[in-house]
C-alpha cells in the first residue's frame, strides 16, 4: 500500500454473455506484473492497482479495501468510491452478491472485517470502546 492519500484501482469487467456471442473482445491490454493498461498502440495508463477481468472478489478486497479498514480501526478517515459508467461493474465490485459469499463485494466484506477487528480489540482490552456512525 502506498503512502499517498488517494489511490486508484482499475478493475477490468469481463465480457458479458451478449458481448461474447457477438464476438466482441476486450479493448485494452493489462500489462503483466505492472499496474498499467494499454489501449490501442499509443495510449497507456498507470494506476495504483490494476485487476484483470478474471480477478476474484476476495483479491480485490484484500489488496484495496482491507488495508483501509485497518486504518479506519486505528482512527483514520477512509473512503472507498466506485466510479464508472452504467454497466461497468460497480455494483458487482461493491455490492452484496446475495447469491454466495465467494462473490460478495467490498461492502459486505468490509463490514464483516470491521466488526471482527473491533470485536478483537474489545477482547484484548475490555475497556476499549468504539462508535460507528
Q: Return binding residues for ATP.
A: 84-91
DSSP output for 20-35: HHTT---SEEEPTTSS
Max CA separation in the chain (angstroms) = 61
State the Cα–Cα distance between residues 130 and 119, nearest whole angstrom: 10
DSSP 105: -
H or E element in which residue 118 lies: helix 106-124
Residue 56: CB atoms within 10 A of its CB come to 11
Helix (H) or strand (E) holding 92: helix 90-94
Amino acid at each position: 500500500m502506498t503512502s499517498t492519500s488517494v489511490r486508484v484501482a482499475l478493475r477490468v469487467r469481463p465480457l458479458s454473455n451478449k458481448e461474447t456471442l457477438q464476438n466482441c473482445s476486450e479493448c485494452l491490454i493489462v500489462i503483466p506484473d505492472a499496474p498499467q493498461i494499454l489501449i490501442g498502440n499509443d495510449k497507456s495508463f498507470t494506476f495504483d492497482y490494476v485487476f484483470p477481468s478474471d480477478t476474484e472478489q476476495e483479491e480485490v478486497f484484500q489488496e484495496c479495501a482491507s488495508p483501509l479498514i485497518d486504518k479506519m480501526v486505528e482512527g483514520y478517515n477512509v473512503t472507498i468510491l466506485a466510479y464508472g459508467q452504467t454497466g461497468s461493474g460497480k455494483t458487482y465490485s461493491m455490492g452484496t452478491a446475495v447469491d454466495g459469499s465467494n462473490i460478495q463485494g467490498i461492502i459486505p466484506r468490509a463490514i464483516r472485517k470491521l466488526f471482527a477487528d473491533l470485536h478483537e480489540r474489545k477482547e484484548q482490552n475490555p475497556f476499549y470502546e468504539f462508535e460507528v456512525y
